[in-house]
């Protein structure tokens, strides 16, 4: 199971005093904590089968949230930032890279601003 309620801004604020020790180091196998705004489903089942623990606290390693909650959670005005060992299934403005039209727009802008060809940074 997972927490089905709408998540609050559970990642650490950039202005908060110090990071939790859980979030400042990689989790040990079998000690992964997740927070989700959905219950059930294949992803949550996979988390549970692998021994990951659900939590409602601020100390989570994996956040599985819908796009709107991610957008609200990490709005620039919120001051919320992920800890070193926190991951989420979406990232703010993800459509800037995942939609073809906006990806092309961003590549063209990069090329215009840097004066570089797209081939100047080959993928290794």
The pTM of the full predicted model, rounded to 2 decimals, is 0.59
State how many domains the chain has.
Answer: 2
Query: Do residue 103 and residue 88 come from a single domain?
Result: no
Q: Residue 18 CA to chain centroid, in angstroms?
A: 20
Instruction: Report the pLDDT value the prediction gives residue 119, as an integer from 0 to 100.
Output: 64
Q: Residue 103 CA to chain centroid, in angstroms?
A: 20
Query: Do residue 73 and residue 118 come from a single domain?
Result: no
Query: Do residue 101 and residue 88 come from a single domain?
Result: no
Q: Write the pLDDT tens digit of every residue in 45-66.
A: 999 999 999 999 888 999 999 8
For residue 108, give both structure tokens: 């063209």
Query: Do residue 50 and residue 100 come from a single domain?
Result: no
Query: Do residue 101 and residue 74 come from a single domain?
Result: no
Name the residue range of residue 41's domain: 1-92
Query: Do residue 79 and residue 110 come from a single domain?
Result: no
Query: Do residue 39 and residue 99 come from a single domain?
Result: no
**Alpha-carbon torsion angle 76, 23, 53, 35, nearest 10:** 0
d(CA 58, CA 106): 34
d(CA 62, CA 89): 8
């Amino acid at each position: 199971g997972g927490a089905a309620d709408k998540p609050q801004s559970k990642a650490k604020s950039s202005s908060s005093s110090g990071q939790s020790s859980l979030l400042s180091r990689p989790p040990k196998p079998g000690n992964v904590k997740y927070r989700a705004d959905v219950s059930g489903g294949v992803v949550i089942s996979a988390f549970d089968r692998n021994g990951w623990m659900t939590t409602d606290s601020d100390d989570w390693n994996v956040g599985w949230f819908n796009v709107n909650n991610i957008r609200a959670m990490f709005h620039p005005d919120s001051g919320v930032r992920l800890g070193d060992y926190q991951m989420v299934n979406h990232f703010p403005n993800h459509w800037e890279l995942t939609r073809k039209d906006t990806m092309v727009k961003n590549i063209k802008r990069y090329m215009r601003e840097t004066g570089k060809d797209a081939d100047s940074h080959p993928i290794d």
